[in-house]
Homo-oligomer: A and B are copies of this chain.
Amino acid sequence: MTPIPSSQLLDALNWRYATKKFDPARKIPADLWSALEQALVLSPSSFGIQPWKFIVVTDPAVKASLVPISWGQKQPAECSHFVVFAVKRGLGEADLDRYLARTAEVRGIPVDSLAGFKNVMLGSIEKARAGGYLDTWQTHQIYIALGQFMAGAALLEIDACPMEGIDPAQYDEVLGLAGTGYATVVACAAGYRAADDRYATTQKVRFLPEDVITRI
């Protein structure tokens, strides 16, 4: 692979901001959107389990219906592509088996050869279930995907707005997730900033490096 110059990474991360007002007329070109979907698929996760579904909403009526269950924020309606990040709750052996079957398929190996790996994973998830932190742990992975998605979008010069101010239970109803085992965690609007989004020119605020980084 060919690395990018570090200045280009920082330019993109400085350029991005939580876009409040999208230009509803500008849509993300299909090839770029496809790349962002692939970035979602490629997100890292614990054990590689990928405990998620990504719901990509572009239907105008559905997008509009998300506004009232997003504290009235208009980004779901005005953006180009709206992504809802859902986690698999109560992860269990069937999820592991599905993952291992896929592993065997991709690597061309017998699934039985993965029995040791399965036991390690099963031990971890059963310990987490007993400890009451299984869903919390898997939800953390969702935020890795969100972080990768936002960074990827910025590098492609696509605007985004992460949204935690949503009603997850109502999202689950609207998106047909209720009863599937998958539950809405967070969302991210993607598209292009409106020319008059005043937040686009507001100076980004970050603590000084010495206030957040400690070197040992």
Q: Which A residues lie at the B interface, using CB under 8 A?
A: 1-4, 6-16, 18, 31-32, 34-35, 37-44, 46, 48, 50, 52-59, 62, 99, 102-103, 106-107, 136-137, 139-152, 155-157, 162, 164, 175, 186, 202-207, 209, 212-216
Contacts and interface: CB of A to CB of B under 8 A. Distances in A.
A9 B39 contact: yes
Contacts of A50: 206-207, 212
Given A50-B207, A58-B215, A216-B55, A11 B2 contact: yes
22 contacts: A1-B12, A2-B11, A3-B155, A6-B31, A6-B35, A10-B39, A13-B38, A13-B42, A38-B209, A41-B212, A53-B213, A53-B214, A54-B212, A56-B213, A56-B216, A57-B216, A62-B216, A102-B205, A107-B203, A143-B147, A148-B148, A175-B216
What DSSP secondary structure best describes chain A's contact surface?
helix
B1 A157 contact: yes
Interface centre among A15, A142, A204, A212 (most CB of B within 10 A): A212
A119 to B, nearest CB: 15
A142 to B, nearest CB: 8
